[in-house]
Structure 1
Amino acid sequence: MARKANHVIDSPIQSKKRIKLKKILSNYQLYLFLLPALIYFIVFHYVPMYGVLIAFKDFVATKGIMGSPWVGFKHFERFFDSYQFWTLIKNTLGLSVTQLIVGFPLPIFLALMLNQIRSEKYKRFVQTVVYAPHFISVVVLAGMIYVFFSNNGLINNLILIFGGDPISFMAKTEWFKPLYIASGVWQETGWAAIIYLAALAGVSPELHEAAVMDGANKWQRIFHVDIPAIMPTAVILLILSVGNIMNIGFEKAYLLQTPMNQPAAEIIPTYVYKMGLQQAQYSFAAAVGLFNSVINLILLIAVNKFAKKLSGTGLW
């Protein structure tokens, strides 16, 4: 009498899990390469997140985070009721939105222009010139701005040569934003163009050959071949930029601040630094920083959803 063997049949979900496990085991070397980065993010980004609790407490260093008393939304209410609230929001959004409007399209334009250069030597020279400012530290950049735009700086000397009156660039509030935006564009445009150049390098030459055969000129090939090819990359970078819109650079804003231009130069990151580290109001600074991060998260989700609906491209 033949015995029937009992076979356990896996469900579709179990089969998929088994297949995924086999793929992971067969490519374990690649996952080992990812392990240091994963450990870094867990240790330095996720584990410290429990410190956000101090935004809802009156933090006392001797009692620790868990031992400090809860105060709910006290620090958030204090920030919202502060006379500086709307000034900080206006300055932060004014700088970041203007920087996005001015600085985002320029790398695309630069990449499209560099892609049209046929002389490799000249192209490499231009790339070196426009990439170089990225490697200047923020401290050095701020020093250069002071040297060029101080009362006895190069720009004011040129104004005097042409018969004009010197301008106190570093003391007037209306000049802080132009100096901040212009220096950022000069420093980062060339570096940001690298991603678009990489995307343009992936465009098939056959598309350009077909366009030439159809009678398209250079501008028509740029608009109908090159721009559609880099559009998904541009959308992703735009989503990331908008999602980080409230986290405009602290270092340069802080270094360019003077007592005279502070009404226009004080932004949320510099305010958090002063409240948290200089005045030791840790809970209040944490609440302001958390508010800033929540706004960024909301903007990121909203813009990603809008971009996905409009163009079909998104982060998730």
Structure 2
Amino acid sequence: MNVSSSRWQELERPAGSERESLGQKLRKDWLRHYPLYLIVSPVLIYYLVFHYVPIYGAIIAFKDYVPTKGILGSPWVGFKHFQAFFDSYYFWRILKNTLVISLTSLVFGFPAPILLALLIHEVKSRLFSRFVQTLTYMPHFVSLVVVCGLIIDFTMDNGIVNSVIGMLGGEKATLLNYPSNFVPLYVISEIWQEVGWGSIIYLAAMGSIDPQLYEAATIDGANRWKQTLHVTLPGIAATIIILLILKVGGILSVGYEKIILLYNPAIYETSDVISTFVYRKGLQEFNWSFSSAVGLFNSTINFLLLVGANWVSKKINNSGLW
């Protein structure tokens, strides 16, 4: 006798049992796994308080916010601040600068940890590989203020970089006073500080590759280069895709801290980005509604880029964040 799967489940269900509600399922799951819920609760509370509750304040982007009147008491102005931002002289400049810095970091900075991880993975001496790992990820723990101070000191006309330039016959000059130098200095220093830390996740992914795959490749006559191409890279492809999607999703989120510590009015034309513009408008000029509108625009574009990158990845490789 042919019986459908749903009907078969009904026949197997004990007599008198009924479909459980969502609340009952959650209660039973809580009683069964409450230690795990307690462990994860601080993380959930953190994201709830600092990432989800502040979303409520985003409505001031559509208001002329007055602190004495509060968020709800301030008058609605619709898309006034968005229109002012799009019509602003600075709109195209800061959008271009943000994209240039982000895309340059993506092109040169994203592959750097992968290459470093591949090189460390090929090192036979465990002692030497650990030494290289420690040496490369230590800059990640150096304060950003210290790093920016070193960059400023090294690139001054009497700094170590200019000493090398002078030895090679070049002209000494304070590099951060020239707009064309800002992006290379920013990206190079970013790679130096984060390349070792970023390689850790790729090394972990390589550690999960089945050693028998390398043995089979060796038997088939594959050298180390071919093993890297046909075993190692496919083994970490999923990790690379996920991190690339996240990177594309934050392409307009260039942090303002490092740029503020490095830039000066002489190089605003190449260093001023959306986040620094929001900082100046919101915290220095107290134009909270306008800065919130700019920040909301930035977050919306990043969200669309994240969804688009995930969709493209699903279409091409059938893998993504969700």
Whether the TM-score (by the shorter chain) exceeds 0.5 is yes
Structure 2 residue matching 1:309: 3-state secondary structure: helix
Q: How much does 1:158 deviate?
A: 2.4
CA distance in 2, matches of 1:159, 1:32: 58
Partner secondary structure for residue 151 of structure 1: coil
Change (3 A) 1:19 1:44: closer
Q: Which stretch of structure 1 is more off in the superposition, 129-138 or 264-273? A: 129-138
Q: Distance in 2 between matches of 1:32 and 1:298?
A: 34
Are residue 297 (structure 1) and residue 303 (structure 2) matched? yes
CA distance in 1, matches of 2:263, 2:93: 15
Gaps of 5+ in 2: 1-13
Aligned to 1:126: 132
Shift of 1:151: 1.4
Residue 206 of structure 1, aligned match among 208, 212, 217: 212
1:101-250 superposed matches below 5 A:
101-250=107-256
Instruction: State the match for 1:3 in structure 2.
Output: none
User: TM-score, normalised to structure 1's length?
Assistant: 0.94
Q: Which runs of 5+ in 1 are unaligned?
A: 1-5
Using the aligned pairs only, state the percent identity: 50
| 1:237 CA drift (Å) | 0.3
Shift of 1:7: 5.0
TM-score of the superposed pair, with normalisation by structure 2: 0.92
Please tell me the residue identity of whatever aligns with 1:53: I
Cα deviation, residue 162, structure 1: 3.3
How far has the Cα of 1:25 moved from its partner?
A: 2.4
In 2, Cα distance between equivalents of 1:17 and 1:164: 73
Cα deviation 1:262-291 (Å, max 9, x = unaligned)? 111100000000000000000000000000
Alignment length (residue pairs): 309
1:261 aligned counterpart, secondary structure? helix
Distance 2:177 2:22 in 1: 65
- What does residue 311 of structure 1 align with? 317
**Equivalents in 2 of 1:47, 1:179: separation in Å?**
37
For 1:63, the equivalent position in structure 2 comes to: 69
From 7, 16, 29, the counterpart of 1:8: 16
> Could you tell me which residue of structure 1 aligns to residue 267 of structure 2?
261
- 1:282 aligned to 265, 284, 288, which one? 288
SS at 1:164 equivalent? coil
2:83 is aligned with 1:77:
yes
Q: CA offset at residue 260 of structure 1?
A: 1.1
In the TM superposition, what whole-angstrom CA distance separates every residue of 1:190-235 from its partner, at most 9, and x where no partner exists? 1100000000001111111111111111111111111011000000
**Root-mean-square deviation (Å):** 1.7
